[in-house]
Every structure is written in structure tokens, then in C-alpha cells.
Amino acid sequence: MDRTNGITLHELTKTWPQPGGAERLTVFSGLSHTFPPGSRTAIVGPSGSGKTTLLQMVAGLEAPDGGFVEAPKAPELGYVFQSPALWPHKTVRSNMRYGLGEHLFSGADPLEEARYRDILQALELEDLQGKYPATLSGGQAKRVSLARTLVTRPSCLLLDEPLGALDGALKDRVLDFLLEWVHWTEATLLYVTHDHGEARRICTRVLEVRDQGLVEVG
């Protein structure tokens, strides 16, 4: 696979304004790091440490105060937000098809269609196709959100606590499928979680957000 889908952070600094005019909160300062193409890295850390902020900067949704990011752009880049971020006026089906654009409907590629079905099945979403997001449980919404991005087959995938709302056996099955999917697509993966076990299972490296930077922990 010959795609320049790695991610490089150059001297990133990021601050957030604080309520009530207090001094700005520094989340990262002088952070440099390279995530090679096809690497699978988990980002861990307590909540509020800056994991989501990091993904937002990689995706180009938040500008850093200093430094810059080199990363693929959409549609090569896929980002599953911490909240499901589904569109309330669209059914699960149209939520999931949105990223495929129009081409699936015109001259439907059978191979693509088969992949779509696979993801649907693996994430156990077949029965939810006609439903609206407001009627889904937290875990269901989260899986739809994951599926919506996976079907576009990004070569660089940012996942923000994708299994947060799942539990037990289902969580294991989804994790297995994700692992299989990443192996097969050779995508670069940034996986945010606060579950170290989960992190070790799917990723080859685990980094922790600490002291306004990233520290290798396993």
C-alpha cells in the first residue's frame, strides 16, 4: 500500500480560554511526534488531559496556537468523535451512506456494497437501519457513528473512545472486528481510550498525555 498516510506533529502548542477571564489553560506545549504510516497507537490519559483536543488538531478542526500538523485530509482521514454526532433528521441508513456520496446509488459497485454489508453485520446494526438517532441507545449510536466512518475506508483513522458506551461480549466482538479491519486496510490508527487493556489489545504502542506532551507507557 503506497499512501503517505502517516501523521507528524511539529512543536504543537495548544491553549484553551478559561471561563471568567482566567489565564488560558495550556493543554500541549512544544509537542512533536511522528506516527508512521500503518502504525497503531493508543492515546491514554485521565479525562480532561487533552486526548480529544489532540485528535481535533490532527483532523484540522482546531488550529494549534503554535506549530503545525501534517496529516491526510478527508476523505483519507476518518474521525469518530467522542459523542456519536449523528444527524438527528436522518435515519441510521442515510447517516451511514452519507460518506459514500452519490456513487453508491448510481452504478453501485458490488464489491463496495459487500463491504458495506460486512460492516453493518459486524457491528450488529442490520435491525437499526430504519431508525432515527433519537431512538437509539448510547451504545447503538456509538456503533452507528463508527460504522459511518469505517464504510468510507479512510487510510488514517482517529477514534475517540469508540467503545466507551459498550460492554461485555459485544465490546469484545467489536474490538475483534476493528482489529481485523485495521489489519486489512493497513490504516494508520490513533486510538483514544482510558482502558489500558483495550489499548494493548488493538495497538502496538501506548502513549499517555502527560506534562503537556506524550509519553510512551507500553
Partner 1 sequence: MRRLAGGVRGLLPVLPFFLLTLLPLAWLLGTVSWEGAKAPVWGREGLLLGRTLLYGTAVASSAVLLAYLALVFGAFTPWVDRGLLKAFLFLALPVPGTVFAYAGLKALGLLGLPSRGFAPSWLVHTASLLPVALFILATGLHTLKKEPLHAARLLGSDARMLARILPGMLAPQVLAALGTVFLLSVGDYAIPSIFSINVYSLGIFVEYSSSLSLGSTLVKSAPLVLLQALVLLLLLGRTEPLFLTGGRKGMLTLELSLPGTLLAAGGLLLGLALLLVLLPFLLVLTDLAMWRGLPQTLARSGRDLAASLGILFRAGILALPVSYLGGWWLHSLRKGRRPALFLVLLPAFLPGSLTGAALIHLYNRPCTSGLYDSLWMPALAVLARFLPLSLLVVHASFRRLDRELVDAAFLLHPSRLKAHLQVLLPLVLPGLALGTAFLLLFGLGELGATVLVLPPGSSTVTVRLYNYLHYGASEEVLGLSFLLLAGMGGILGAAGLLSGLARRLRKMD
Ligand X SMILES: Nc1ncnc2c1ncn2[C@@H]1O[C@H](COP(=O)(O)OP(=O)(O)O)[C@@H](O)[C@H]1O
Type of residue found at 17 = P
Cβ nearer to ligand X, comparing 45 with 72: 45
From Mg ion, partner 1, ligand X, none, interface partner of 83 (C-beta below 5 to 8 A by class): partner 1
Residue from 8, 29, 39, 49 in contact with ligand X (CB under 6 A): 49
- Shortest Cβ distance from residue 54 to ligand X (Å)? 7
Contacts of 177 (CB under 8 A, 6+ apart): 122, 123
Q: Which of residues 168-187 bind partner 1 (CB under 8 A)?
A: none
Q: Give the integer Cα–Cα distance in Å for 142 and 120.
A: 13
The answer to whether the peptide bond before residue 75 is cis (omega within 30 degrees of 0) is: yes
Q: Which of residues 31-60 bind partner 1 (CB under 8 A)?
A: 59
From ligand X, Mg ion, partner 1, none, interface partner of 53 (C-beta below 5 to 8 A by class): ligand X
52 belongs to the binding site for Mg ion (CB under 5 A)? yes
71 belongs to the binding site for partner 1 (CB under 8 A)? no
Q: Which of residues 126-155 bind partner 1 (CB under 8 A)?
A: 145, 148-149, 152
27 belongs to the binding site for ligand X (CB under 6 A)? yes
Residue from 48, 101, 138, 218 in contact with partner 1 (CB under 8 A): 101
Beta 77-80 vs 188-192: how paired, if at all?
unpaired
The pattern of x and - marking residues 3 through 22 that bind ligand X according to CB under 6 A reads: -------------xx-----
User: By CB under 5 A, which span of 46-54, 112-120, 149-157, 180-188 interacts with Mg ion?
Assistant: 46-54
Contacts of 9 (CB under 8 A, 6+ apart): 31, 32, 33, 34, 57, 58, 67, 69
Q: Give the integer Cα–Cα distance in Å for 159 and 99.
A: 17
From partner 1, ligand X, Mg ion, none, interface partner of 90 (C-beta below 5 to 8 A by class): partner 1
From ligand X, partner 1, Mg ion, none, interface partner of 171 (C-beta below 5 to 8 A by class): none
Asked if residue 182 lies in contact with residue 190, where contact means CB atoms within 8 angstroms, the answer is: no
Contacts of 213 (CB under 8 A, 6+ apart): 28, 29, 30, 31
Scan for cell 481485523, then name that residue: 180
